[in-house]
Amino acid sequence: MPDVLIENPILNSPFEQPNRHFKFTEDGITNEVVEARRSSGYFVPIPQPKKKGKQLVFDSEWTQDRFRESEFINRVRDRVNVWRQQGWPGVTNTTAKLLQHWTDPEPELEDMPEVIAYVKSYNLGFTIPYTIDDRVHQYNPDYLVRVDDGRGAENPLNLVLEVTGEKKKDKEAKVDSARRLWIPAINNDGRFGRWAFLEIKDPWSAQTEIRALLKTLREGRAA
């Protein structure tokens, strides 16, 4: 098997279901990234011919032709994914609060002096239209965040903040419509202040990613 250099082997966030993996081929692992979760499975070792007086040695190269799926584990994964999407039914109130806390960017927002105010947009009536399979739907972003991006609290930046879980077709359509169509349209209108969009995958990196966005926007104004 040829040597493969993978500079950064960490592809997924610890706060969401894995949605990327490195591809295996008949020659072994590659540095090609597949945009999907890897099926659970194992590699079947093949014993090398035993010579007299020597211990049996297994050839443990990890190649795709030796991969066998763990059907039971994959079924459990599917059930857990449905349970997560339904809001963790059956858990105690304490467990539900812990699960929400671990996927909640609010502690990060609370500690940011740049954040003037924020609110969850659910039930506010704030929606962004998007199209998927030629049908129009309405998208509720996770948060609306009012940020001082250097122009003062009297002229804040209105940030649409989306916390992304597992990768889905409809989520990609929502994010693309918000970022590529809705944000430019409302900024061109000019009557509703200044707006930006940010998608984060790790709620505990909210501060870092928001500040990186603000830096990019300031550099764009200065250019």
Residues 34, 128, single domain; the answer is no
Interatomic CA distance for residues 215 and 156, integer angstroms: 15
- Mean local confidence (pLDDT), 19-40: 84
Interatomic CA distance for residues 163 and 134, integer angstroms: 25
Residues 121, 197, single domain; the answer is yes
Token pair recorded at residue 36: 């999907």
Assigned domain for 79 exists: no
Q: What is the pLDDT of residues 113-161, one digit of tens each?
A: 999 999 988 778 899 999 988 889 998 899 999 999 999 999 999 999 9
By CB neighbour count within 10 A (0-12 exposed, 13-18 middle, 19+ buried), where does 173 fall?
Answer: middle
Q: Where in the sequence is the domain holding 50, given as residue range(s)?
A: 21-69
Assigned domain for 52 exists: yes
Token pair recorded at residue 123: 């039930």
Residues 175, 65, single domain; the answer is no
Helix (H) / strand (E) element for 141: namely none
Assigned domain for 42 exists: yes
Assigned domain for 47 exists: yes
Assigned domain for 87 exists: no
Within 13 Å of residue 104, how many CA atoms lie on the same side as its CB?
A: 13
Residues 214, 109, single domain; the answer is yes
Assigned domain for 149 exists: yes
Q: How many domains does the chain have?
A: 2
User: What pLDDT shows up at residue 9?
Assistant: 84
Token pair recorded at residue 208: 């870092």
Assigned domain for 168 exists: yes
Assigned domain for 139 exists: yes
- Whether pLDDT at 221 is above 80: no
Rounded to the nearest 10°, the torsion over CA 170, 176, 181, 187 is 120
Length of the chain: 223
Residues 56, 116, single domain; the answer is no
Q: Contact 141/123 with Cβ under 8 angstroms?
A: no
Residues 112, 198, single domain; the answer is yes
- Between 16 and 78, the more confident residue is 78
